[in-house]
Amino acid sequence: MTELMNLGGERVDAADGATFEVVEPSIGTPMAEVAKGSPEDARRAVELAERAFEDGAWRRTSARERGRLLTQASFLIRDRQEELARLEARNGGKPISSARAEIDIVANVFEYWGGAANKVLGESIPIMPPGIDVTIREPVGVCALITPWNFPAVIASWKIAPALACGNTAVVKPATQTPLTALSIADILYEVGLPEGTLSVLPGPGSTTAGALIADPRVAKISFTGSTEVGTAVMQEAAKNIARVSLELGGKSANVVFDDADLDVCVPKSIWSVFDNAGQDCCARSRAFVHRPVYDEFVERFAAATESIAVGEPLDEATEMGPLISEGQRATSLQYLALGEGAGARRVAGGDVPEGPGYFMRPAVLADVANDMRVAREEIFGPVACVIPFDTEEEAIRMANDSPYGLSGSVWTRDLGRGIRVAKGIRTGVISVNSSSSVFTEAPFGGYKQSGMGREMGMHAAALYTEVKNIYLSEE
């Protein structure tokens, strides 16, 4: 399979003709050869996007018409769900069932913004002088959208759909490991009538291709999802041009289980809150804080449920967890597992590497973890769960907050008052009570502290892709 980049609606080679191989993680061999974007390609893409924005074909299209196009794209995405899901499963190592669900989310996101495009509202403001004061929201301009490898299609949709709904033009830089579905989504958007130049997709190295986008003074807005370390560098570079920035970064989220929790519900939900996508999820509840009266029972149940997870080939319908994205990511996970055991934690499940090709690893559970161990403090981005006991509600909140991150989390209790107190007490951007779900198309998503800034999804996302203009109309 050979894939060219999408430059303003045209599939083309890289300016220098360079390519790179995309590896299928379940077998560790190449599945596609892809055009390798360079700084020159980034310059060309931004030039097309700037010209398209200034010409105004998309910006001056009515919000209702923009919404109709995004809705039409959602229909095509649903029509091609199986094709896109198989591509995502192979490229990202996802179970096919998960990949299908994620493509459905992508369709939902475009459908949502299809309906939301004409609901990005201003306001009227009472003022002292005679007249009318109103605000309007205008598109910010050229947007650089930099996406990660763990949820390639979903997170691309989170950025592309609101950026376009608000009238912007955009250049997408997908992760080097997983560029294929972003290219397909762009093809669909042009197929339903997106004006030429409005959107480009540039596969290639982050250090050069994304770096050139971030440094370009014509880029008005940068949306980045990835590690906290890279996000820091993005913010520093963007400051040189005062470019608008939103960041969705790392996490080390808490799963707080009280002694009155319904373990029959909590345990099955909790294993997937950390092991979904082989633990490669910034929202992973990888620190399970468990009330001491039910600690032993939770550990026993959690370990047994973890051992029952079906690890296998992504396209096998029975598979529940596929491989990690790369040999390096697996090695990092194994290293942290060894660090935890070396610091005194007790492995109670998993952690072994099956024989054969691909980057597989059995999900692992460490019990008797201390919250100050490296394995409990640093983001692993792999299938390693830490179980930590606590004695009081106050201690649980304190330990959950003892982290540089604040992205997600869960609280399990039948006491409504306690659920409210703990949910409010933990400093995190999204949190759920008696559920492992906290990310929804209709609701804002983002983090506190080093987990990022800005909120994606829901109508809050419109603030990331618009400028507020105040207009005073005098009676005099």
Distances (CA, A) of 349 to 79, 86, 372: 41, 30, 21
Which two structure tokens, joined as six digits, stand for 430? 């999204």
Q: What is the CA radius of gyration of the chain?
A: 23
Greatest pairwise CA separation for the chain in angstroms: 81
Q: What is the rounded distance in angstroms from the CA atom of residue 238 to the CA atom of residue 240? A: 5
Which two structure tokens, joined as six digits, stand for 76? 């095509």
| Three-class SS state of 387 | strand
248 is a catalytic site residue? yes
Q: Could you tell me whether strands 142-146 and 169-173 are parallel, antiparallel, or unpaired per DSSP bridges?
A: parallel
283 is a catalytic site residue? no
Q: Which residue has the tokens 């520093």?
A: 236
Q: What is the rounded distance in angstroms from the CA atom of residue 420 to the CA atom of residue 260? A: 15
Q: Could you tell me whether strands 29-35 and 432-433 are parallel, antiparallel, or unpaired per DSSP bridges?
A: unpaired
Distances (CA, A) of 457 to 71, 143, 155, 258: 16, 16, 10, 30
Q: Could you tell me whether strands 346-349 and 131-139 are parallel, antiparallel, or unpaired per DSSP bridges?
A: unpaired
Residue 474, Cβ density class (10 Å: 0-12 exposed, 13-18 middle, ≥19 buried): exposed
Question: Are the beta carbons of 246 and 451 closer than 8 angstroms?
Answer: no
Phi then psi dihedrals of residue 334, to 5 deg: -65, -35
Instruction: Indicate which residue of 143, 166, 282, 283 is catalytic.
Output: 282
23 Cβ neighbours under 8 A, 6+ residues apart = 29, 30, 31, 177, 326
Q: Which residue has the tokens 């995004």?
A: 70
Instruction: Indicate which residue of 24, 248, 313, 379 is catalytic.
Output: 248
Active site positions, annotated:
248, 282
